[in-house]
Amino acid sequence: MTEALTSPAVPSENSASAENAAPVLQNPAVAGVPAETDVEAAVHAIADRSRNAARKMAHANRAWKDRGLRAIGKALLDHKSHILAANAKDVAAERANGTGAALLDRLTLSDARIAALAAALENLATLPDPVGNVVRGQTLPNGLRLRQINVPMGVVAAIYEARPNVTVDIAGLALKSGNAVILRGGSAAAATNAALVTILREALESVGLPADAVQTVDQYGRDGANVLMRARGRVDVLIPRGGRDLIQTVVTNSSVPVIETGEGNVHIFLDASASEEMAVDILLNAKTQRPSVCNTVETLLVHSESTVLPAVAAALRAAGVTLHADGRVRAALPASIESVPATDEDWATEYMDLDLAVAMVDSLDEAVKHIRKWSTGHTEAILTNDLANAERFIAEIDSAAVIVNASTRFTDGGELGLGAEVGISTQKLHARGPMGLTELTTTKWIVQGEGQIRA
């Protein structure tokens, strides 16, 4: 590959003119689609090529897939300037549109973030291949030998918002688990995602893997996303990743099976026994390290007998956090620590910014009740030195991740040793929590006999 890559043309989502139709079909990811720009036919053609690619990927052994991952990682570094130039266009356009700082942060790539993507792919290549793993097996009294093994899903589609790192994460996970992937990354990251998809496809071809294992429908905008959601039989599973509106739109309108990832209205309960040093360190990390992501804490519940609230609040304010506090918290804080009155809307809000809702509770039971009412089922944490309270919190909180005495920022595929993640599933069927390689496989029963028939 050379630096002079030809990225797919990506028109505005609202563009439907004949003038924009021709370059759409020049995308190498949709080559061969008839020029009449029938979106349904074009997306179905992409899905059919994905299915053919998935059949080839299912036969690829671990060494071959790992070569593909390493080729992608090298290509990202080799073409870093191309990626950053495309990303700068997206960021400038969104800044001009008035996009907030938190969302701009999610959109922005940098030298360090591209290096981190390449490192994550290298780490992914070191992980065991889930395909062929024996889940369970036995020999029956009649001599039949049974095995239940992990096999690829097939064609995995993902619809997500303006986070170009997700383009690489999802593609890498899908490839390692033997799947083909169709991406819909949103208009805000259109130029960046177009550059990334081109790089990914060329890297796969360079090692003999099918380029069509990574495709995009970004060039067809919302119409393409709508067709993708209805491509049951062509697409095996659809994973939405983003805010409430996006996720609910996909869940409501998709006929393709959906693995629902949830928004992160994340809670931390500060028990009376928690130490000041631990509380300050964890709250600062959980709120301020990267406030725009889904595992950032959004609500702090403080036991009324805790003595560390002033220190925690002062540290958060010094870090630029706006405290949306209930009346009891505001009364307990020194006048020098500013806060604004909290409303019910604050308890329901995923701020994705330097804002934190703070409430005072009189017991663990009251904290659990609050969390059950307002939680999105993503991550909840307790800070405590009381083992009994920790065990009760673990037993009574029904979220995908429950954390004791650590930052909520650890609810992450990479941090938990999964290499990366497709998203954080908040549903209970098939997958829950960070979705890594195994979560992108299903199972198949292998039954081997020697002529047995059923009596």
pLDDT higher than 90, residue 408: yes
CATH assignment at residue 213? 3.40.605.10
Is there a contact between 294 and 399 (Cβ–Cβ < 8 Å)?
no
Number of domains in the chain: 2
Q: Containing H/E element for 226?
A: helix 221-229
225 and 352 belong to one structural domain: no
Q: Are residues 162 and 26 in the same domain?
A: yes
pLDDT of 262 > 80? The answer is: no
Residue 107 lies in a domain: yes
Lowest mean pLDDT among 279-283, 366-370, 403-407, 438-442: 438-442
The proportion of the chain whose per-residue pLDDT surpasses 70, expressed as a percent, equals 92
The answer to whether 238 touches 250, Cβ cutoff 8 Å, is yes
Residue 433 within a domain: no
Query: pTM for the whole thing?
Result: 0.80
Query: Is the pLDDT score of 133 beyond 70?
Result: yes
Verify that 68 and 149 share a domain, yes or no: yes
Domain that includes residue 392, residue range: 266-416
Residue 430 counted as domain residue? no
Residue 195 included in any domain: yes
204 plus 272 within the same structural domain: no
What is the chain's mean pLDDT, rounded? 90
Residue 420 has pLDDT above 80, yes or no: no
Residue 439 lies in a domain: no
pLDDT at res. 108: 95
User: Is the pLDDT confidence value at 303 over 80?
Assistant: yes
Give the pair of three-digit tokens for residue 437: 């390689």
Q: Assign residue 410 the CATH number of its domain.
A: 3.40.309.10
Both 247 and 284 in one domain: the answer is: no
272 & 347 share domain: yes
Residue 227 has pLDDT above 50, yes or no: yes
Q: Using CA atoms, how far apart are residues 235 and 181, in angstroms rounded to an integer?
A: 9
CA distances from 225 to 30, 234, 248 (A): 15, 14, 14
Residue with tokens 């997700």: 166
The lowest-confidence range among 62-76, 131-145, 276-290, 404-418 is 404-418
- Picking from 224, 253, 282, the residue at the C-terminal end of a domain is 253
- Check whether 199 has a pLDDT greater than 80: yes
Average the pLDDT over 391-419 and give the result: 92
The pLDDT, as a whole number, for residue 100 is 86
If asked whether residues 242 and 280 sit together in one domain, one would say no
Within a domain: residue 13?
Answer: no
Q: Does 230 have pLDDT greater than 90?
A: yes
What's the pLDDT score for residue 322? 97
Asked whether residue 206 is domain-assigned, the answer is yes
> Per-residue pLDDT for 152 more than 80?
yes
pLDDT, mean of residues 199-221:
97
Q: Residue 37's pLDDT is what?
A: 67
In terms of domains, do 174 and 277 share one?
no
pLDDT higher for 99 or 12?
99
Residues 113 and 150 in one domain: yes
Report whether pLDDT(186) > 90: no
Same domain? For 362 and 387 the reply is yes
- Mention every residue, 6+ apart, whose C-beta is less than 8 A from residue 23: 9, 11
Q: Amino acid identity, residue 33?
A: V
Span 232-258, mean pLDDT? 91
Residue-level pLDDT at 207: 97
Confidence of residue 4 (pLDDT cuts 50, 70, 90): very low
| In a shared domain, residues 244 and 270 | no
Q: Is residue 422 a part of any domain in this protein?
A: no
In whole angstroms, what is the distance from residue 341 CA to residue 282 CA?
24
Alpha-carbon distance of 175 to 348, in angstroms, equals 36
Got the DSSP string for 359-379? EEESSHHHHHHHHHHH--SSE
How is residue 315 written in tokens? 């540290």
- For residues 304-313, give the mean pLDDT: 97
Give the bridge partners for 257, in sequence order.
none
Enumerate residues 6+ apart whose C-beta is below 8 A from 154. Answer: 51, 54, 58, 179, 180, 236
Q: How many residues does the chain have?
A: 455
Handedness of CA 438, 55, 60, 449 (dihedral sign): positive
Kindly state whether residues 295 and 231 are assigned to the same domain: no
Local confidence band at 12 (pLDDT 50, 70, 90 cut-offs)? very low
Give yes or no for residue 337 having a pLDDT over 70.
Answer: yes
pLDDT of 433 > 90? The answer is: no
